[in-house]
């Protein structure tokens, strides 16, 4: 014989199912990523130019990036790079800021360890 569940019995069944699911680990826990995120094309381009003898310069707020070749003072404006690109490289520890040529400019240098 089967009993017809009443409204109070259905809520009891739902509660018991929720308790069973709570301890089963149906939702996996998030783990911290140990792998460094990949660089975007703009970030790779900036780092490649800096390794080839260009110095990255920005205004005092980190915007308007330019690449200046130190041996002949050639200036290149990277179209794909902006303030957020430079901020991302700094947060990842790939570049650090220094004094620029003018009082309102910042020069960026690559870090030794990568």
Name the band, by pLDDT with cuts 50, 70 and 90, for residue 5: low
Task: Count CB neighbours of 53 within 10 A.
Answer: 12
* pLDDT number for residue 88: 93
Mean pLDDT of 24-40: 58
**Radius of gyration in angstroms for the set of CA atoms belonging to the chain, rounded to a whole number:** 28
Q: What is the pLDDT of residues 77-97, one digit of tens each?
A: 998 899 999 999 999 999 999
Q: If you write DSSP's letter for every residue of 10-58 in order, what string do you get?
A: HHHHHHHHHHHHHTTT-SPPP----SPPPPPHHHHHHHHHHHTTEEEEE
């Amino acid at each position: 014989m089967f009993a017809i569940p009443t409204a109070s019995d259905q809520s009891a069944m739902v509660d018991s199912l929720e308790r069973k699911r709570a301890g089963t680990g149906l939702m996996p826990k998030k783990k911290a990523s140990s792998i460094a995120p990949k660089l975007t094309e703009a970030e790779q381009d900036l780092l490649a130019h800096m390794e080839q003898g260009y110095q990255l310069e920005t205004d005092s707020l980190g915007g308007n990036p330019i690449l200046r070749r130190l041996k002949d003072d050639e200036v290149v404006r990277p179209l794909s790079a902006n303030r957020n690109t430079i901020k991302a490289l700094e947060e990842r520890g790939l570049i650090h800021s220094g004094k620029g040529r003018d009082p309102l400019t910042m020069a960026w240098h690559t870090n030794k360890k990568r």
